[in-house]
Amino acid sequence: MKIAILSESPADEAAIRILVDAIRGEHTEWLGSLRVPSRGYDGVRKSLPRVIAHLHYRTDADALVTVVDSDRTSIHLPEHEQPGNEDPACRLCLLRGIAKDARGELAALHGRRPLTVAVGLACPSIEAWYQCGLDAHATEAAWQRDLDDGADAPIIIRNRLKRAVYGTDRPSLALETQHAVAHAQRLARQTELLEKSFPMGFGSLSRTVGDW
C-alpha cells in the first residue's frame, strides 16, 4: 500500500510516518513529500482538494494521511461521528468534509481504486501527542477542561509544550524533526496509550488507518 502524507510541518510528517507504520504493523511504502504553497493549518486546508486531485490523477497512491493541530478550536467529539452531526468548528470534521467533496469530483480511472483519506486532529498541537506518557496534562480531556475554563491564551500553552518537547519554543526544523522522530519512535511501542489519551483526534486516525 502506497500512502501520501500532508501535515503542518515536514517534522510532523516524519513522526506521523512512524506512527502510521506502528498502527498498521508493517512498513509502509510512502510517496515522496508533497509540494504545497504553504504549511500550517490554513496551508493544509487550502491545499487538500488540489493534493487529492494530484494523487488521484498523477500518482499511484492508495491513501492520504493528513494531521493538523486543533489550536483553540473544538476537539472532535463522539457525536460528530453521526451523519448530519458534523461540526464546522471542528477541524477534523471540516477536513473530512473537504476531502469527501474533493473525492466526489474525481473522474473514475480504469484500474484505479478510489483514494482513501484518514484525518487526525492533535489537541491543542501535535506536541501534546509527543508528550503523551510524560505529561499527565497531555490529553484531550485536559485540553477540553482548559477550553471549558475559558483558556484564552493557547499560544502560551503551545509554547509550553514546545519547550517541553524541543527545549525551546522556536526550534529549527532540524531540531524539531530530531525530537519529533524520537518521540514517535517511543510512542510507536505504545499507540494504545496515545489512543486512550487522545481517543478522538488520534483514535479516529488510528481506526481509519487500522482498517486499511
Cell digits for 27?
A: 512498513
- The pLDDT of residue 148 is 79
124: preceding bond cis by omega (within 30 degrees): yes
DSSP 114: P
Give, for 30, the enclosing helix (H) or strand (E). strand 29-30
Rounded to 10°, the helix 173-187/154-166 angle is 80
Task: Give the CB-side neighbour count of residue 179, counting CA atoms within 13 A.
Answer: 20
Q: Position 187: which residue type?
A: L
Q: Is the pLDDT of residue 154 over 60?
A: no
Q: Quote the pLDDT of residue 153.
A: 53
Residue 18: DSSP 8-state: H
- The pLDDT tens digits of the residues spanning 39-69 come to 899 999 999 999 999 999 999 999 999 999 9
Q: What rounded mean pLDDT belongs to the chain?
A: 92
Count the Cβ atoms, other than its own, within 10 Å of residue 19.
24
Radius of gyration for the alpha carbons in the chain, expressed in angstroms and rounded: 17
Task: List pLDDT tens digits, range 90-103.
Answer: 999 999 999 999 99
Given this model, what pLDDT does residue 152 score? Answer: 55
